[in-house]
Structures are given as C-alpha cells and as structure tokens.
C-alpha cells in the first residue's frame, strides 16, 4: 500500500465532502428564505436572488457532479494506493450498483409520477455515495483481507 497516496486521496475526499455539505446546506438556507449560511468560511452569495426552482435545479446538477467527483477520487485513489486492483474493482462495482438502483428507482418514479415517494430512498443512496466511507470501508476491508491471507500462509 502506498500510504502517502492513500492519505492524499482521503484528505481530498474529506475536503470535497465538506464543500459539498456547505453548498447544499447553503442552498437549502436560501430556499428557506435565509441569508445566513452554514459555514461563514465560504462565500456563496452566487445563490442569493435566485428563484427556488433554479436553486433546486442547481442541486440536481450538483448531485450528479459530486457523485462523479466522489466516484473518480475514490476509484483512482484506490487504484493508485494498492498494488492489487481488487479495491479499485470493488469501488467500481459499488458505484455501478448504486447507479443502477438509482436509475431503476427514477424510472419507476417517472412512470408512476411518484417522485415524492422515492425521494428519501434516493437521498439515502446519495448520502452514502457523497462521503469518504466507501474509500475507508474498501481500504480497511482489503487490508484486513490481505493481513488474514498473510497469516494463513505463515
């Protein structure tokens, strides 16, 4: 395992997670009619004066963008941090399964006109994908697997 690379990607994912949280909570504050933002360290004046529908559209676009960024940073981080490609493949499989499930749920909601009924489930998937947990869980699992494999051989 290349520890420095692993740590760099962990920090990148943590920073990305922080900025994602700040942006989404700030947009939600503006939609609710507030001009007080979640973190005073980040200026998000761009969102002030926008209509609630425009802000909701921004949230959809940002959801897709952040999902792609988290997937890219996680998969590349795992690929560069481990000699074995298995963690990289696991990350691709996890993101792929989540994307397929989300698409099926969206298709269902579009055909039944019931987006409000599936929104909380979709949000749960997004919350899972928009943090560094996948990176940590796959890394820890693979390290545990590798260690137990070495113990059996010894």
Does residue 30 register a pLDDT over 90? no
Domain total in the chain: 1
Does residue 38 register a pLDDT over 70? no
Does residue 147 register a pLDDT over 90? no
DSSP code for 154: -
Terminal-residue alpha carbon distance, the chain: 20
Mean pLDDT for 12-19 is 94
What is the rounded distance in angstroms from the CA atom of residue 109 to the CA atom of residue 2? 43
**For a pLDDT cut of 90, what percent of the chain falls above it?**
69
Mean pLDDT for 51-61 is 93
What DSSP letter does each residue of 129-151 carry, written as one string? HSSSHHHHHHHHHHHHHHHHHHH
Segment 108-118, tens digit of pLDDT: 999 999 888 99
Report residue 75 as tokens: 């998969």
- Higher-confidence residue of 14 and 152: namely 14
- Going by pLDDT thresholds of 50, 70 and 90, the confidence category of residue 34 is confident
**Residue recorded with tokens 């909570």:** 25
User: Is the dihedral angle over the CA atoms 39, 41, 58, 127 positive or is it negative?
Assistant: negative
Does residue 15 register a pLDDT over 80? yes
What is the rounded distance in angstroms from the CA atom of residue 134 to the CA atom of residue 28? 26
Q: How far out from the chain centre does Cα 82 lie? A: 21
Does residue 43 register a pLDDT over 70? no
Residue 138 phi/psi, 5-degree rounding, is -65, -45
Domain that holds residue 79: 3-153
């Amino acid at each position: 395992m290349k520890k420095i690379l692993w740590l760099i990607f962990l920090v990148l994912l943590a920073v990305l997670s922080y900025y994602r949280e700040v942006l989404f909570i700030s947009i939600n504050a503006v939609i609710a009619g507030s001009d007080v933002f979640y973190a005073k360290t980040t200026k998000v004046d761009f969102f002030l004066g926008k209509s609630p529908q425009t802000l909701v559209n921004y949230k959809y676009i940002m959801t897709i963008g952040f999902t792609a960024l988290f997937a890219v940073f996680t998969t590349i981080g795992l690929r560069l941090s481990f000699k074995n490609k298995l963690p990289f493949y696991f990350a691709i499989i996890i993101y792929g399964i989540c994307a397929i499930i989300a698409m099926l749920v969206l298709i269902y909601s579009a055909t039944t006109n019931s987006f409000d009924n599936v929104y909380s489930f979709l949000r749960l998937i997004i919350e899972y994908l928009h943090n560094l947990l996948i990176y940590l869980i796959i890394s820890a699992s693979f390290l545990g697997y590798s260690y137990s494999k070495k113990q059996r051989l010894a």
